[in-house]
């Protein structure tokens, strides 16, 4: 078993890392690190565990340690659920100390020498690690996963991109409250309400999508426009996607391309890889956030209502994915699995 540390372990995404790693065949949480508010207490006390499954028995009694290479020692892999404002510097410190960090934070995602992996799509970007090590003169590495809403969007875009080409993408999101962490969104702000703004989300969706669907050295050249909204759902980001394609895209052919598509994680049978990265539903009122977010244990994106678009020469459809699993901790763990198989860990 490889020893794993979780940074920011008491926050919402940190808890999902701890939850998903329970019983993992390759990784075992041996260290939990968090900010000063939490250190000196056990994880059970400090985390105020808020998940619907019980706190893992092995982790609950662990002492929460500082977020520093000195305090977090003797681990093989580090999962970072740090807030982006502190992640930038802290993750660099760990990489400089020789650690491989798989990060959910946005701080380094757009760095040209940092892979941002949605692994079925672009695990080849892992080659950037060598460049990163040269540039930064460290022996560790930082690997990131995309923003939650980007993760959900890019999975169904990839088979379209490969088969039909993409000229432009317009997307409106209906995002769950768990995406804002805890305490996150005030209940007075979201019950019987929609908030049509999520700070920083639209630029992220636009630039990250281009980076993921591009090559390691060059972003994809199609345009993306997004409008991001928070709705009163617990988990699961639902997105209305309009795609202008280069070649004529018949909805049935798009559905078939999505259903048949698998990536390297599926071929390698990585433990967290869902059987299908994209599941296509044919019922006219699906996917629905509450009913479909756990498809593929929360690691698949579910697509429905694929239809021709009346503005674009292309298609429109609905995509749904679990924001804290596929869109955060689950994607990070899948990335770590890939790194292990590729002997970076």
Whether the CB-CB separation of 63 and 90 falls below 8 Å is answered with: no
Nearest Cα neighbor of 173 from 245, 231, 255 is: 231
Residue from 39, 68, 227, 266 binding a second copy (CB under 8 A): 227
Pick 35 or 168: Cβ nearer a second copy: 168
Residue from 80, 289, 301, 335 binding a second copy (CB under 8 A): 289
Three-state DSSP string of 56-99: CCCCCCCEEECCCCCCCCCCCEEEECCCHHHHHHHHHHHHHCCC
Show the tokens assigned to 122. Answer: 């672009």
The rounded distance, in Å, linking the Cα atoms of 19 and 292 is 20
Positions 8 through 37 that interact with a second copy (CB under 8 A): 12
Burial 57-79 (b: 16+ CB within 10 A, else e): eebbebebbebebeebeebbbbb
Whether the CB-CB separation of 100 and 46 falls below 8 Å is answered with: no
Asked whether position 67 contacts a second copy by CB under 8 A, the answer is no
Segment lying near a second copy (by CB under 8 A), choices 96-104, 145-153, 304-312, 326-334: 304-312
Active-site residue, selected from the candidate residues 125, 237, 322, 331: 237
**Shortest Cβ distance from residue 295 to a second copy (Å)?**
8
Whether the CB-CB separation of 7 and 33 falls below 8 Å is answered with: yes
Whether the CB-CB separation of 241 and 205 falls below 8 Å is answered with: no
125 counts as catalytic? no
Asked whether position 192 contacts a second copy by CB under 8 A, the answer is yes
Residue from 88, 184, 219, 271 binding a second copy (CB under 8 A): 184
Asked whether position 282 contacts a second copy by CB under 8 A, the answer is no
Pick 66 or 206: Cβ nearer a second copy: 206
The rounded distance, in Å, linking the Cα atoms of 257 and 322 is 22
Asked whether position 259 contacts a second copy by CB under 8 A, the answer is no
Characterize the bridge pairing of strands 301-308 and 314-321.
Answer: antiparallel
Whether the CB-CB separation of 251 and 303 falls below 8 Å is answered with: no
Q: Is the dihedral angle over the CA atoms 259, 284, 166, 211 positive or is it negative? A: negative
Residue from 60, 86, 97, 190 binding a second copy (CB under 8 A): 190
Positions 35 through 64 that interact with a second copy (CB under 8 A): 50-53
Whether the CB-CB separation of 113 and 257 falls below 8 Å is answered with: no
Active-site residue, selected from the candidate residues 123, 148, 228, 331: 148
Residue count at the site for a second copy (CB under 8 A)? 58
Residue from 233, 272, 301, 335 binding a second copy (CB under 8 A): 233
The rounded distance, in Å, linking the Cα atoms of 253 and 227 is 27
Pick 188 or 252: Cβ nearer a second copy: 188
Residue from 204, 316, 322, 340 binding a second copy (CB under 8 A): 316
Pick 68 or 288: Cβ nearer a second copy: 288
> Which positions lie near a second copy, rule CB under 8 A?
12, 50-53, 168-170, 172, 174, 177-178, 182-197, 206, 223-225, 227, 229, 231-234, 238, 240, 242, 284-291, 294, 304-305, 309-312, 316, 318
């Amino acid at each position: 078993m490889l020893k794993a540390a979780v940074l920011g372990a008491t926050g919402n995404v940190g808890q999902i890392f701890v939850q998903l790693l329970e019983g993992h065949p390759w990784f075992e949480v041996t260290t939990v690190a968090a900010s000063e508010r939490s250190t000196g207490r056990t994880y059970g006390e400090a985390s105020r565990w808020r998940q619907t499954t019980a706190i893992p028995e092995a982790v609950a009694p662990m002492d929460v340690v500082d977020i520093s290479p000195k305090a977090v020692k003797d681990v093989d892999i580090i999962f970072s659920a740090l807030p982006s404002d502190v992640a930038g510097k802290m993750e660099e410190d760990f990489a400089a100390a020789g650690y491989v960090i798989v990060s959910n934070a946005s701080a380094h995602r757009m760095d040209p020498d940092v892979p941002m992996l949605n692994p079925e799509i672009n695990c080849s970007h892992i080659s950037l690690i060598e460049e990163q090590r040269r540039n930064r003169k460290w022996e560790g590495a930082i690997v990131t996963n995309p923003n939650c809403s980007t993760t959900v969007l890019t999975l169904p875009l990839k088979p379209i991109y490969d088969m039909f080409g993409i000229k432009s993408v317009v997307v409106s999101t209906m995002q769950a409250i768990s995406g804002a962490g805890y305490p996150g969104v005030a209940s007075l702000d979201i019950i019987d309400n929609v908030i049509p703004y999520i700070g920083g989300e639209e630029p992220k969706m636009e630039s990250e999508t281009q980076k993921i669907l591009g090559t390691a050295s060059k972003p994809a050249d199609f345009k993306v426009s997004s409008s991001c909204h928070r709705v009163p759902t617990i988990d699961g980001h639902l997105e209305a996607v309009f795609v202008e394609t280069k070649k004529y895209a018949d909805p049935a052919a798009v559905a078939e391309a999505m259903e048949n598509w698998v990536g390297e994680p599926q071929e390698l049978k990585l433990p967290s890889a869902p059987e299908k990265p994209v599941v296509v539903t044919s019922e006219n009122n699906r996917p629905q956030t509450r009913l479909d977010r756990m498809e593929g244990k929360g690691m698949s994106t579910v697509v429905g209502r694929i239809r021709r678009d009346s503005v674009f020469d292309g298609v429109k459809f609905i995509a749904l994915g679990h924001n804290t699993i596929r869109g955060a901790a689950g994607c990070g763990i899948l990335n770590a699995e890939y790194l292990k198989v590729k002997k970076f860990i």
